[in-house]
Amino acid sequence: MAKYAYPAIFTPEADGGYSIDFPDLEGCHTCGDDMADSLMMAEDALALVLYGYETDGRKIPSPSAPGKLSLSEGEFVNYIACDTLAYRKMYNNKAIKKTLTIPEWLNEEAAAIGVNFSQVLQEALIQKLHAN
């Protein structure tokens, strides 16, 4: 999980929108109604595809240098950045059950003062992983 930046080829469409292609990443294409929408859609598509690469354990290719990309007339290159950890937090946030073991005395002390074990574990893991 990391932060990435890849070049995207923007192709203007007749209706004012853009088609967007990430030539370095298989299956990474999207479109937008205008420039603002296109940039948002491009970031989402990039994060989704790279999240898939990470989840599948596939090697993530290096981004091409923008000067090495072939462009047709009217097309332009723009770098798009994304953070797959932020993407995971936003879209992969379902709760899962974990079984753990702690000493009985620790359980009794924590239960006596109403400690929420799930909350404590989440907070500790976030701190440990520096994932806040």
Q: Give the model's pLDDT for residue 1.
A: 60
Rounded CA-CA distance 123/132 in Å is 9
Domain of residue 17, CATH code: 3.30.160.250
Q: Provide block-wise average pLDDT over 10 residues at a time, the chain (132 residues).
A: 92 96 96 97 96 93 90 96 89 80 90 90 85 58
Same domain membership, residue 7 and residue 52: yes
Same domain membership, residue 71 and residue 14: yes
Q: Give the model's pLDDT for residue 131.
A: 61
Domain count, the chain: 2
Rounded CA-CA distance 22/105 in Å is 55
Q: Give the model's pLDDT for residue 94.
A: 78
Same domain membership, residue 73 and residue 103: no
Domain of residue 109 covers 95-132
Cross-strand partners of 4? 82
Q: How far is CA 23 from each of CA 8, 63, 68, rounded to the nearest angstrom?
A: 7, 9, 11
Diameter over CA atoms, the chain = 72
